[in-house]
Structure 1
């Protein structure tokens, strides 16, 4: 086949893969996209396959993370050309992992569908770990509304990704066997395997790993202030922000058990607003309503800045700046919340000097975050995309997952919808209801099956109230994480290696 046709197939199939994610949600296109990648990886000579895989990746990532352009251009002060260049540069870096996948497939002449998945799992692990990791657009997320979502509470999004690649490779092998005149039993075998895993997933969907605690719902109100990002950090707009949230809080004091504000809801140091927090604490106590607020907190001893959340309104624990009932963000956004090599990079361009880009990471082990005598597993904004981190924040007696965010950085793009899809996956993996408060949307309540229970519209100043029951019990993934899948992947590799070794030994023994 002409190499330019192969390049076109690669580019188009990469772009199509993004339509499998939210807000489009055509989950079947994940398989179409992967079929395109596997096709170019297996049917081309090495140099053509590697470049075609690079084109697949550029189509996939340039379109899939184009929302970064909004924050770089509109709020980072970079020119439009520089912002697109930086998105392209990031995409080129992310393209290295699918290219590595194709290189390994070519290098070892991979035929087995399950080994395709093992190699992809390895490259995705690297993408989520190296340089603090960027596991955005894992293909398993696309399957949250598919018939295969039952895999998630057992093996997590990594397992769903493994299955998606394996299914795509099985389809490829089956079709290739028919077209190449090989034994049609190969195609039949792959079809039976796919049907078997589909049946297992359907069965798992009916298993209730967790159960609601009856008669103990919590009435929670999410406040969505809808503060425009270009005004949020303007000192002249601080009092307007305070007025918006004071008004919204007052409307729900005494009516809700818990009120939750979004990430860095009050855009100045919490230390400078201690009298405001103390008044809010007294008002919450009087109304029997606790309030969780995303703040920018400066440690009084070290002067380090933290992106944190804190609770006020508990009569047993009056508010103080050094309260232990605080969660500080552990996994920061590179360049957005901290700048690697900052002494070198900050002088170069305003894009490296975004507001509040000098945070410190919170401790790995932090006390349970409490509100209304319930235990919450917290995650602030970017952290929700790291399944293992959220799993680590889960305690034995956790009732809910809680994430606060400010997706105003990404405007009216596909970014906030992808972010929401990942939050839904955390609820499904861990079997816990998830509460998500955001500045401009999308504020939601999510059930333990990953379903949306209530949702506020984007770009509207509003409050969303819902009675949400806690869940008790554990999913297999919440207990074991990704280790079973990594163990199985290693086992598959060992078995494949043993089979190849035995085959070589047999061939050698048959030679005269």
Structure 2
């Protein structure tokens, strides 16, 4: 249904409008409100609610809002085109604003941990960040409008435009691919396995097609099986068959001689960075690690590797020999992998000492391996545009001046196969969790994180959902230790073998799964995604072909 298809009856009276017609004809604040509310409904498809069908609300609304963009008026063709593009972009911004506001409201919780310093910035985090991210959605709508056609294949124009803007969002200014549209499919059993083929950005394309296709049912006429619906059904069936077969055949087994213990301390975030709490924090970690607090748990002597979360200590571990000795005495022969700050002194005092957010491997009181975080968190560990924002009083959340590691992204700890280490939000970047040209492929993903900044909100659940998707994309098991949760062991097909819920103090014992054969996305991260996007453009363009357009 397009603007031109809304007509009056023979007597000249306008019939009662259907929902699609109301959206298409909406103007002003009514149009903005529809876009905003539709976008907010889409957040219900994300963790922890994971109601995937909710994504159909913003996607169907997007189709009708873009149809309505044709209502822009101008004196000539150029003015009409400009007005149509601006109308499309405005609708996209409001839809994106609603989506990101409902999906990322929890960012403000981090500012309340040190409220005396950062509470003033709460509106910037809760409203400013969604408003900025919505600009990408606006761009996606504008791109879609360039390919827009009256037939049902306009769904593919929307998929091409939105997926392109989502890809840009994941790369511009170091990228923030959080809550992509494709995450609606990441929680759907069987369908999530398609990530092994096309990754998150490929899921973006597929999600738009699948969830926007129902909008074409309102196009009018006797035909209800539109080409868009037919393609969506075929895609769903193909994804289901592929995912079902992959899971049916996916028995990876376990690494011999490795028993893991993940420690989740559930430590309040306001205590993490106070040096005077260092001794008590270490005591708590060691006590929790060594005791049997649930059926099936025994002393630490029965495990080979202990894993603690990110930023475990409010001190530099390598400069505290007494702390190292206490760890060695408690863990005995077990190897510890822990988040910690690592310092690197500048030679000859030529420049300041470097400090890294790192993962350290300790054995018998000695640091035997280390990895330094490469991808720092904007506004968390560093201040973007510091020259502009610094004089205004802005600063980053985590105390200290942090340096980015130089790589490589691998960690070899005694008794473990090669790991791909991921500190905190490094796990949200598809195609970047494993070095593509490394001499040896890692055998598992090791993610240490601290989501205590965000309390009992949606944030930690969304973070875990994205880390789990990396396991499917790479065909690698995921071992994840989080301060407040969610800590988990996930097999290379994304199946959760064991997990600790959010807000619980506990330990999780388990074996290390073996990796699967590298899936297509792991071998060629963006080949299949770009191929899928190319065919999406082709389908969108077919709507403009005379003769074919009449069939859509």
TM over 0.5: yes
Aligned-residue offset at 1:176: 3.8
Q: Quick check: 1:428–1:450 contact (8 Å CA) kept in 2?
A: yes
Q: Quick check: 2:60–2:213 contact (8 Å CA) kept in 1?
A: no
- Residue 192 (structure 1) aligned to one of 230, 235, 245: 230
2:475 paired with 1:427: no
Aligned-residue offset at 1:106: 2.4
- Residue 356 (structure 2) aligned to one of 303, 306, 314: 306
Aligned-residue offset at 1:95: 0.7
3-state SS in 2 of match to 1:39: helix
- Residue 447 (structure 2) aligned to one of 393, 403, 409: 403
Aligned-residue offset at 1:213: 3.9
Q: 1:85 to 1:356 in 2, by over 3 A?
A: closer
2:101 paired with 1:51: no
2:154 paired with 1:154: no
1:15 maps to: 40
Q: Quick check: 1:224–1:439 contact (8 Å CA) kept in 2?
A: yes
- Residue 338 (structure 2) aligned to one of 285, 293, 296: 293
Q: 1:135 to 1:472 in 2, by over 3 A?
A: closer
Please give the TM-score of this superposition, normalised by the length of structure 1.
0.88
How do 1:30-69 and structure 2 match up within 5 A?
A: 30-44=55-69, 45=71, 46=84, 47-69=86-108
- Residue 241 (structure 1) aligned to one of 273, 278, 281: 281
1:456 maps to: 500
Let me know the Cα RMSD of the aligned residues.
2.7
Paired with 2:116 and 2:392, the residues of 1 have a C-alpha distance of: 12
Q: Which runs of 5+ in 2 are unaligned?
A: 1-24, 72-83, 292-298, 348-352, 548-552
Paired with 1:340 and 1:6, the residues of 2 have a C-alpha distance of: 34
Aligned-residue offset at 1:165: 0.6
2:53 maps to: 28
Q: Which runs of 5+ in 1 are unaligned?
A: 505-512
Please give the TM-score of this superposition, normalised by the length of structure 2.
0.82
2:136 maps to: 97
- Measured against aligned partners, the alpha-carbon deviations of 1:276-300 in whole angstroms (never above 9, x if no partner) come to 335534764xx43111011101113
Aligned-residue offset at 1:411: 1.1
3-state SS in 2 of match to 1:195: helix
2:31 maps to: 6
Q: Quick check: 1:329–1:361 contact (8 Å CA) kept in 2?
A: yes
Aligned-residue offset at 1:115: 3.2
Q: 1:345 to 1:496 in 2, by over 3 A?
A: closer
| Structure 1 residue ranges, 4+ long, deviating more than 4 angstroms after superposition | 78-81, 208-211, 281-284, 393-397, 494-500
2:185 paired with 1:143: yes
Paired with 1:35 and 1:105, the residues of 2 have a C-alpha distance of: 14
Paired with 1:2 and 1:145, the residues of 2 have a C-alpha distance of: 33
3-state SS in 1 of match to 2:341: strand
How many residue pairs align between the two structures?
Answer: 489
